[in-house]
Structure 1
Amino acid sequence: MVKVIATRTIEALIALLLMSIVIFLLSRLTGDPIALLLGDGATEADRQALARDLGLDRSLPAQYLGFLADVLRGDFGRSLTAGGQPALDLVLARLPASLSLAGVALVFTLVVGVLFGVAASIRRNGPVDVAARLVALVGQSVPSFWLGIVLMYVFAVKLGWLPTSGYGSWSHYVLPAATLGLFTLAAITRLVRSSMLEALGSEYIKLARVKGLPEAMVIWKHALANSLIPVITFMGTFFAVMITGAVIVETVFAWPGIGRLAYESILARDFPVVQAVVLVITALFILANLMVDVLYIVVDPRMRSRG
């Protein structure tokens, strides 16, 4: 098992290294930060001096190697627009807001998705099943930015029940968490429904009913316990989707997280902050999937034998 875990860890590190190259190159496509920082009235000497100070006068390979060496030391550079603050400090200051929003959205989608999936499988082709499939269809089809604007208009502007933006009390979490979690809610509902339908038709469920066990125990203890395996398998992906999808949702609801920080940094062509944000998001994505792989190997002996 140790060998398998070590292999997965090496694969995760290689993926992170490759992503660092992609992130470094893509951040350069947003434009020239020197033109933004100096403006139109700067002389060529001013441009060259600033480029030299920022290290932008070197070749791209040299810039990347310097960037990688600094990252390995924990230095992601300094912001070009936020008064020279360390880029990593800016990201870490915004990270708790993003993690809390992702956590609330994930809990919401797990609870509602499991309940919807179980209810849909018990009453197959009934009203609840139709509603669950409709929610799954809408969740996978509707763009998150459009859904966020609609929810904001209905529940904040028209009804006045919830705030339109901000961060603090529980009411600020409702709209962005619902918007962020709808896509994952659709996936969990479909997974639980299909797994429950398969489990309810299996021999061990028939045997449990023959033994005279209560129907609630058959459904919630025996059938659901096995139906949650696919959900657990994709938990890392679900959480990563919450983090990566937060860029749009946080921008719509003015949520002070790393998603909004990434949006603001891209507009300002702040290379160090963009690189730090995307690297942190990528690291969270890879770490979440690595943890799920390790847990799956621990739980399922067949995975240990396969490697």
Structure 2
Amino acid sequence: MLKLIATRIGEALIALLLMSLVIFLLSRLTGDPVALLLGDGATEADKAKLTQDLGLDQSLPIQYLTFLGNALTGDFGRSVTAGSQPALELVLLRLPASLSLAAVALVFTVTIGILFGVLASIRRNSVVDIAARLVALIGQSVPSFWLGIVLMYVFAVQLGWLPTSGYGQWQHYVLPAATLGLFTLAAITRLVRSSMLEAMGSEYIKLARIKGLSEAAVIWKHALANSLIPVITFMGTFFAVMITGAVIVETVFSWPGIGRLAYESILSRDFPVVQTVVLVITSLFILANLAVDLLYVLVDPRMRIRS
């Protein structure tokens, strides 16, 4: 167990290092922030001074090593567009909004996805099964930005049931969470359905029925317990989809999270904030996958034996 944890932590550190290098290089390819910040009327002296203040007069290797050394101490630089506010502080202020939205969306999708998957498996080729597969097909085909706009138009503009934007009340979570979670809902539904179909034909399910257990106990206690292992395996991926997909959803619904912050920072070429947002998202993704690996070991006895 300790060897498994140490291996996963080592892999996480290597992934973070490589991601920091990729993000650093990509952010430098988006254009010159000096020209954007100063405008056309700036003098050469103004451009030279701002270039020096931002550290852009150094070579790329020196810039990266400086960035990496500062990041290890928690200093990710200062925003060039938000009044020189520390980039990490700016991201942490927006992080709770993104995490709360992702949590609501994940709870919604896991609950509905498991229910749809179980009903589709026990009523195979019925109307329920066809409807569940149709939802899964739509969820994995429809773009998030289009779905968000359609839901906003129907439920906010036409019906007036829900707000188009805002943050804080439960009503504000409904449309963004539904938009964000539809892709994951489709994936969970298909996973649970396929796992349940396999489990229902296994020998231990036949034995449970021979023992006289009720059909509800066979389905919800025995078959579903084993069918959830693939869902747990992909929970880290699902969480990552929620966080990365929030860039589009938060922009559509004006949600004050790190996804919208990333979009705004990219438009303004705010290098420190863009780098900080992506590194924070990467860290969350890696931590989520590490937690899933450990949870998988606890759920699956075979993994405990191997570790």
| Residue matched to 1:154 | 154
Q: Map 1:227-246 to 2 at 5 A.
A: 227-246=227-246
Q: Is the 8 A contact 2:114 2:189 kept in 1?
A: yes
How far 1:295 moved relative to its partner?
Answer: 2.1
User: What's the CA shift string for 1:32-52, capped at 9, x where partnerless?
Assistant: 110111111111111111111
What is the one-letter code of the residue matched to 2:156? A
Q: Map 1:119-268 to 2 at 5 A.
A: 119-268=119-268
Q: Is the 8 A contact 2:195 2:227 kept in 1?
A: yes
User: What's the CA shift string for 1:121-176, capped at 9, x where partnerless?
Assistant: 01000000000000110010000000000000000000000001111110000000
Alpha carbons of structure 1 residues 298 and 207: separation in structure 2 relative to 1, 3 Å? closer
How far 1:253 moved relative to its partner?
Answer: 0.3
SS in 2 for 1:141: coil
How far 1:304 moved relative to its partner?
Answer: 4.6
Task: Quote the Cα distance in structure 2 between the aligned partners of 1:171 and 1:300.
Answer: 38
SS in 1 for 2:124: coil
SS in 1 for 2:289: helix
Task: Quote the Cα distance in structure 2 between the aligned partners of 1:129 and 1:300.
Answer: 28
SS in 1 for 2:164: coil
Task: Quote the Cα distance in structure 2 between the aligned partners of 1:294 and 1:64.
Answer: 33
| Residue matched to 2:88 | 88
Q: Is the 8 A contact 1:248 1:259 kept in 2?
A: yes
Query: TM-score if structure 1 supplies the norm length?
Result: 0.98
Tell me the C-alpha RMSD between the 2 structures.
1.0
What is the one-letter code of the residue matched to 1:201? G
2:38 aligned with 1:46: no
SS in 2 for 1:245: helix
Task: Quote the Cα distance in structure 2 between the aligned partners of 1:306 and 1:60.
Answer: 44
Give ranges in structure 1 of 5+ residues lacking alignment: none
| Residue matched to 1:277 | 277
What is the one-letter code of the residue matched to 1:41? G
Q: Is the 8 A contact 1:78 1:273 kept in 2?
A: yes
What is the one-letter code of the residue matched to 2:56? L
Q: Is the 8 A contact 2:166 2:172 kept in 1?
A: yes
User: What's the CA shift string for 1:89-129, capped at 9, x where partnerless?
Assistant: 11000000000000000000011000000000010000000
> Aligned pairs, how many?
307
SS in 1 for 2:156: helix
What is the one-letter code of the residue matched to 1:126? S
What is the one-letter code of the residue matched to 2:79? S
Task: Quote the Cα distance in structure 1 between the aligned partners of 2:304 and 2:113.
Answer: 30
| Residue matched to 1:102 | 102
How far 1:299 moved relative to its partner?
Answer: 3.6
Alpha carbons of structure 1 residues 304 and 205: separation in structure 2 relative to 1, 3 Å? closer
How far 1:207 moved relative to its partner?
Answer: 1.2
Task: Quote the Cα distance in structure 2 between the aligned partners of 1:177 and 1:127.
Answer: 26
How far 1:4 moved relative to its partner?
Answer: 1.7
User: What's the CA shift string for 1:210-234, capped at 9, x where partnerless?
Assistant: 1211111111111111111111111
Q: Is the 8 A contact 1:4 1:304 kept in 2?
A: no
Task: Quote the Cα distance in structure 2 between the aligned partners of 1:228 and 1:305.
Answer: 20
Instruction: Name whichever of 59-68 and 40-49 sits farther off.
Output: 40-49
| Residue matched to 1:56 | 56
Instruction: Name whichever of 153-162 and 289-298 sits farther off.
Output: 289-298
Task: Quote the Cα distance in structure 2 between the aligned partners of 1:171 and 1:38.
Answer: 41
Task: Quote the Cα distance in structure 2 between the aligned partners of 1:69 and 1:300.
Answer: 40
| Residue matched to 1:288 | 288
User: What's the CA shift string for 1:14-48, capped at 9, x where partnerless?
Assistant: 01100000010111122111011111111111111
How far 1:306 moved relative to its partner?
Answer: 4.2
How far 1:301 moved relative to its partner?
Answer: 4.3
Task: Quote the Cα distance in structure 2 between the aligned partners of 1:140 and 1:150.
Answer: 16
The alignment-based identity, stated in percent, is 84
Q: Which runs of 4+ in 1 moved over 6 A?
A: none
Alpha carbons of structure 1 residues 95 and 241: separation in structure 2 relative to 1, 3 Å? same
What is the one-letter code of the residue matched to 2:285? F
Query: TM-score if structure 2 supplies the norm length?
Result: 0.98
Q: Is the 8 A contact 1:166 1:254 kept in 2?
A: yes
